[in-house]
Structure 1
Amino acid sequence: MLEDGLSYPMEGDSWIARILIGGVLLFLSFLVVPIFIFQGYLLRVLGDTVRGESEPPEWDDWGGLVVDGLKATVVAFVYSIIPIAVIGGIGVVLLGAGSAAGGDGGGILAGFGLLTVLLAIPVFFLIYLLVPAALANMAVEGSLGAAFDLNLLKDVVFTADYLVAVLMPIVVGIAVNIVTQVLAITIVGLLLVPFITFYGQVAVFRMFGLAFANQTDGSSGGATGTTATV
């Protein structure tokens, strides 16, 4: 899976042009719209991977990419920002109430508040597992509602094979982050950062797609329990 993910962005005859376009979009991300185009492209990578395509998608149907990028943003928001905001809000309220109350009762309230905040750690990890699978299912089905098909997602996400498979992108993400930090030291290197970032993100989403596909039949029809190859 790791080898496949790293080689995937360079598959096809037009891979240089593809990476150049992706890097330019990230360079122009301050304009906001390019970010949605980029997110839409990553969603397309997921869908193509699950369907068994061996080469990255081309840059076409730009309007569709924007729409898909907006959908991906909505899914990420629902799965991540809302739960974290709720947990953080409850934790802050309990900590504040405990501090204001004082005494043993206040200490208990503050303790519950701290525990609530600590819950964010496993929640973050659960989000990391859920979001790629939700996006992959949406990419295959072509509908926003497919991202919230919890019956399918639980059969995919809560498997040992999927867990092992989605740990690989963490390795790639850390490596890409180190490379970009080193490159950012010089002006020339800084100009290369968007292109390296695009390459890394495409590789990561390829691996997310493979992880999802290995647990399904290549569609959203249901989990198969197929063992992932790492």
Structure 2
Amino acid sequence: MLEDGLSYPVRGDWIGRVIIGGVLGFLSFLLIPAFALMGYLVRVLETTVAGAEDPPEFEEWGDLLVKGIVATAIALAYTIVPLLVYFVFVFVVLGAGGAIGGDAGALVGSLGAIAALAFLPVLFLVYYAVPAALTAYAARDSAGAAFDVSILRPVLFSTEYLVAVLLPIVVTFVLWIATLVLAFTVVGIVLLPFLQFYGQVAIFRMFGTAFASVSDRVELGGSGTASAAV
């Protein structure tokens, strides 16, 4: 999976594609380029799940923008809602501990403090769920699929997906080191958006590959069950 993901961005006519992706990344502060770039990454997921071996080209820009906006909304929903619930819970528990006072209040406050330590695990859960949701949306071309538990459950609990989530952390770390090295030179700073685009495409390829693998296994299992029943 790692070798496939790292070689994927430079397959086919990759130079023009990387140039466009890097320029969009550089102009992401204008939002519209950011949405177009996100839409392209969704298309990477879509074509990967469909079985394509080469990256998609930058075309049908209107569709890219729409996909990018929808994908951003999905990612925000998965991020904001859990974090909001988490912060409300922690503040309510801490507030209740202060209001109760005494030993009982101290106990409640301690529970709130322990819950506050769970912030990083909550962030990891968000990071873990978002790629699966985006891939479900890309594969089914439906925003509702991103929240369909029946689609997401087998993916989220699969070894393939766990590996696909952990490998990008390694890739991101390597890219971070490369970014620090490049940042010391003017030429390096110019190259940063293109390197980041390469990394994003490689990572999304890994997510799509894992999703496709699990989906194929689930469908084959379902077909086998149905045939046995007949």
Per the normalisation by structure 1, the TM-score is 0.89
| AA at the equivalent of 1:98 | G
Give 1:184 deviation, angstroms. Answer: 1.5
Give 1:102 deviation, angstroms. Answer: 4.1
- Superposition pairs for residues 117-156 of structure 1, below 5 Å? 117-156=116-155
| Partner of residue 65, structure 1 | 64
CA gap 1:98/1:49 in 2 versus in 1, 3 angstroms? same
Q: What is the CA–CA distance in structure 1 between the aligned matches of 2:201 and 2:220, rounded to whole Å?
A: 24
| Partner of residue 32, structure 1 | 31
SS in 1 for 2:23: helix
Deviations 1:50-70 (A, max 9, x none): 111011110011111111011
| Partner of residue 2, structure 2 | 2
2:44/2:204 contact within 8 Å kept: yes
Give 1:164 deviation, angstroms. Answer: 2.3
1:46/1:206 contact within 8 Å kept: yes
CA gap 1:187/1:92 in 2 versus in 1, 3 angstroms? farther
Deviations 1:174-198 (A, max 9, x none): 1112211221222221111101000
Structure having the larger proportion of residues in helix? 2
Q: What is the CA–CA distance in structure 2 between the aligned matches of 1:7 and 1:75, rounded to whole Å?
A: 28
- Superposition pairs for residues 80-119 of structure 1, below 5 Å? 80-99=79-98, 101-119=100-118
Q: What is the CA–CA distance in structure 1 between the aligned matches of 2:118 and 2:153, rounded to whole Å?
A: 20
Gaps of at least 5 residues in structure 2 are 223-230
2:161/2:207 contact within 8 Å kept: no
Count of equivalent residues: 222
| AA at the equivalent of 1:71 | V
1:11 and 2:23 correspond:
no
Residues 138-147 or 109-118, more deviating: 109-118
Q: What is the CA–CA distance in structure 1 between the aligned matches of 2:79 and 2:86, rounded to whole Å?
A: 11
Q: What is the CA–CA distance in structure 2 between the aligned matches of 1:70 and 1:189, rounded to whole Å?
A: 30
Gaps of at least 5 residues in structure 1 are 226-230
Q: What is the CA–CA distance in structure 1 between the aligned matches of 2:220 and 2:151, rounded to whole Å?
A: 7
| AA at the equivalent of 1:9 | P
Query: Percent identity at matched positions?
Result: 53
Give 1:98 deviation, angstroms. Answer: 2.9
Give 1:135 deviation, angstroms. Answer: 1.0
Q: What is the CA–CA distance in structure 2 between the aligned matches of 1:68 and 1:104, rounded to whole Å?
A: 53
| AA at the equivalent of 1:42 | L
Bigger radius of gyration: 2
Q: What is the CA–CA distance in structure 2 between the aligned matches of 1:95 and 1:185, rounded to whole Å?
A: 45
Deviations 1:175-230 (A, max 9, x none): 11221122122222111110100000000000011111110129xx74859xxxxx
| AA at the equivalent of 1:4 | D
Q: What is the CA–CA distance in structure 1 between the aligned matches of 2:80 and 2:219, rounded to whole Å?
A: 27
2:145/2:151 contact within 8 Å kept: no
